[in-house]
């Protein structure tokens, strides 16, 4: 039997946003990063804008003793590296083998369309960060895990089988938890029949009850008929 697995990345790219940022397509170059390698580092000058073609990227901050907070994951179609201003405020590296298109930021002339397109992207990042704040500050481990799954599900266009590129540790560092707690939360959701963990490495997840998952993500008092983004 055939099931839809994740989504076709090419459908997600938004050419309008690209051309608004850097007019000529010819200024974009393809580049590949091996799994685990750094795309850019925190505090480095932000020279390029990236659009992810294939693979996955995580952006994070580190504390001096190694604690890590992942700010977000970038999936095919996403534009990133721009939401940082002139200097990167995060480190970005490839979770799996990754292909990007990149353009020098100096090729952006600072015209109205470019600044407006940048504003739109930065604003989107801000909105994501704001939701992330509520998650980290005020939600339980189970709620965070449910919210993470729903976010990935939405961004992968609700595939029948979701293939996560990131490890349990990555998820934990995104959710402000430990990998053990994430693992336990996923097991709990499995035991409740909301999802099933498939495949040998357990990175394939099938969601069986999205409404119930959303109910968990929104907290105990969220009514069944409630809408969510």
Taking residues 181 to 220 in sequence order and writing x for each that binds a second copy by CB under 8 A, - otherwise, the string is: -------------------------------------xxx
Tokens at 39, concatenated: 């795309």
Does the protein bind a second copy through residue 138 (CB under 8 A)? yes
Q: How many CA atoms lie within 13 A of 193 on its CB side?
A: 0
Residues 6+ apart with CB under 8 A from 178: 172
Q: Considering the complex, state which of residue 12 and residue 204 has its C-beta at the smaller distance from DNA.
A: 204
DSSP string of 52-78, one letter each residue? EEES-EEEEEE-TTS-EEEEEEE-TT-
Terminal C-alpha separation, the chain = 31
Does the protein bind DNA through residue 227 (CB under 7 A)? no
CA-nearest of 104, 49, 105 to 78 is: 49
Does the protein bind a second copy through residue 130 (CB under 8 A)? yes
221 binds, among DNA, a second copy, none (CB under 5 to 8 A by kind): a second copy
The single residue among 21, 39, 71, 78 that binds a second copy, judged by CB under 8 A, is 71
Tokens at 24, concatenated: 């000529």
Does the protein bind a second copy through residue 141 (CB under 8 A)? no
Applying CB under 7 A, the residues found at the interface with DNA are 140-142, 167-169, 176-184, 186-187, 197, 200-203
């Amino acid at each position: 039997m055939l099931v839809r697995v994740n989504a076709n990345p090419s459908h997600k790219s938004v050419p309008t946003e690209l051309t608004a940022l850097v007019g000529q397509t010819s200024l974009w170059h393809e580049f590949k990063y091996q799994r685990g390698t750094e795309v850019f580092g925190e505090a480095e000058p932000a020279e390029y804008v990236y659009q992810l073609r294939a693979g996955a990227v995580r952006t994070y901050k580190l504390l001096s003793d190694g604690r890590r907070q992942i700010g977000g994951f970038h999936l095919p179609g996403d534009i990133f590296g721009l939401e940082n201003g002139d200097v990167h405020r995060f480190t970005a590296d490839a979770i799996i083998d990754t292909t990007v298109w990149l353009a020098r930021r100096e090729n952006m002339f600072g015209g109205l369309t470019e600044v407006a397109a940048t504003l739109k992207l930065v604003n989107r990042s801000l909105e994501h960060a704001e939701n992330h704040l509520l998650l980290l500050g005020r939600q339980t481990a189970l709620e965070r895990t449910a919210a993470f799954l729903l976010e990935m599900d939405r961004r992968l266009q609700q595939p029948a089988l979701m293939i996560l590129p990131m490890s349990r540790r990555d998820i934990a560092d995104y959710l402000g938890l430990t990998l053990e707690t994430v693992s336990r939360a996923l097991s709990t959701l499995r035991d409740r029949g909301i999802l099933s963990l498939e495949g040998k490495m357990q990175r394939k997840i099938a969601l069986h009850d999205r409404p119930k998952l959303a109910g968990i993500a929104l907290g105990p008092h969220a009514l069944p008929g409630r809408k969510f983004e």
